[in-house]
Structure 1
Amino acid sequence: MLKKFAGVRRLIAAGAVLLAAVSLQPLSTAQAAPSPVVGGTRAAQGEFPFMVRLSMGCGGTLYTQQIVLTAAHCVSGSGPNTSITATAGVVDLRSPSAITVRSTYVLQAPGYNGTGKDWALIKLAQPINLPTLNIATTTAYNTGTFTVAGWGAAREGGAQQRYLLKANVPYVSDAVCQQAYGSSLVPGEELCAGNVQNGGVDTCQGDSGGPMFRRDAAGAWIQVGIVSWGQGCARPGYPGVYTEVSTFAAQIASAASTL
């Protein structure tokens, strides 16, 4: 995904083909950064069965077996929509075992205007029989080390990935994150993660809408963030910014019940 410069979102160009190795336009010399995004390693088949790749070039998770949770900036408003294809069940997007299902409806976060509230739900034409990912309902898990995963670029300005990559990113406080982004950060609706001092680990172009997650008290995965934006990818001093899922948990649950 792209990050916003404060604002470039971590979304690849509209119209990108899901299974192609899509390259973004190169960034200018002043913007370019050689650091590999995520410092990622390849995820094992079945390691994160809730992961979904969306055909507009975003990530997502199975909130239920028929509803995908993603970022608001990945979609264009709310309403009937059969143009999105969700791919799941594989780490290799070219695998013949991939499950593909069309969308039927999109619900973008009410009041979304490009700042904060960066979540959306996509209803699928039929359920996908895979494990879902619970979301955090309190801020108790907004700390420690998180896992991020996606098929986005492995370096700033690079191509989308065929295989799912994963990495770990440490929590960054709002106060430290605001040193990088100032008033562009919306505390209470967004949280930050990454290696502030050295960079090198982050989400990037094409990862928008994917999850940031960690283990809960019982050892199960729980989603605490949605990949949203940031400055470049894995740059020192600029952590990734994520939708704070717990803030919107009740709204997400209510919206999902209407689909």
Structure 2
Amino acid sequence: MKLLSALKRCSVALAAVALATVSLQPASAAPQPIVGGERAAQGEFPFMVRLSMGCGGALYAQDIVLTAAHCVDGSGNDTSITVTGGVADLRSSDAVKVRSTKVLQAPGYNGTGKDWALIKLARPIDQPTLKIATDSTYDRGTFTVAGWGADREGGRQQRHLLKAEVPFVSDADCQSAYRDLVPGEELCAGLLDTGGVDSCQGDSGGPMFRKDDADEWIQVGIVSWGRGCARPDYPGVYTEVSHFASGIASAAASL
């Protein structure tokens, strides 16, 4: 597992996680500035979903959510997760809520790398899906992250979906911050010099994405872990989706 101060970006809160005050940071961690995002408009990222255990995710298919392995507890039948989709405001009367039926955690996941999982839904959510990168073509540049997680280190989960842009950080620079980075399975993004823009606790499992050559959104990462939130010299770490694309496709076909 990662060091205590470099934690997975999930929330342990259940039920009303969007409005709960949740911090998974060490007691000595000082709050940092706002993650640097802004509210997303309704319908801007229709593939985004919120999971009841306090994570994010994206619609891989209308009845399958792609999220982080550390957000779920193994594989098998599981009806305990409520997935909320179709809205940027979690309190909206238009929110669609669907229960899970099965969970498939990445084979061999042990807390380091391989941080992806799929959740099968009891019925489809009628929203556009987010395609995933199948090679490393789009693993560079400026990415978008979105989620209902904390807007600052140690802060509250959010009612409204937030978005922010983060630039790619090379493996070499990222390994200067995190010796236990798994190059090839993880990629990094953030403002190394200044910090101030990042995913945070409660954003785990959500997508990191960008536009492809056809001007369509494509998912290149899954929010995984980092030291604090938006700290200088400590970028966010994301599951490198393209590395696992064939495994994700095979797993989805088996659900």
With the length of structure 2 as denominator, give the TM-score of the two structures. 0.96
Q: Aligned partners of 2:211 and 2:24: how far apart in 1?
A: 36
SS at match of 1:176: helix
Query: Of 33, 36, 43, which residue of structure 2 is paired with 1:35?
Result: 33
2:248 is equivalent to residue 252 of structure 1: yes
Q: Aligned partners of 1:28 and 1:203: how far apart in 2?
A: 17
Deviation at 1:30, TM superposition (A): 3.8
Aligned length: 254
Deviation at 1:17, TM superposition (A): 1.9
Aligned to 2:9: 10
In the alignment, is the contact (CA less than 8 A) between 2:17 and 2:157 conserved in 1? no
Q: Aligned partners of 2:45 and 2:155: how far apart in 1?
A: 24
Q: Aligned partners of 2:92 and 2:3: how far apart in 1?
A: 32
Aligned to 1:194: 190
* Percentage identity across paired residues of the two chains: 69
Query: Of 207, 220, 223, which residue of structure 2 is paired with 1:224?
Result: 220
Which deviations, in whole Å up to 9, do the C-alpha atoms of 1:173-215 show, x marking residues without a partner? Answer: 0000000001x10000000000000000000010000000000
Cα distance change on mapping 1:170 and 1:49 into 2, 3 Å: same
Deviation at 1:231, TM superposition (A): 0.2
Aligned to 2:160: 163
Which deviations, in whole Å up to 9, do the C-alpha atoms of 1:100-135 show, x marking residues without a partner? Answer: 000000000000000000000000000111100000
Q: Aligned partners of 1:5 and 1:218: how far apart in 2?
A: 41
Aligned to 1:181: 178
SS at match of 1:201: coil
SS at match of 1:177: helix
Aligned to 1:60: 57
SS at match of 1:212: strand
Structure 2: which 5+ residue stretches go unaligned?
none
Query: Of 125, 130, 151, which residue of structure 1 is paired with 2:127?
Result: 130
Structure 1: which 5+ residue stretches go unaligned?
none
Aligned to 1:210: 206
In the alignment, is the contact (CA less than 8 A) between 1:195 and 1:236 conserved in 2? yes
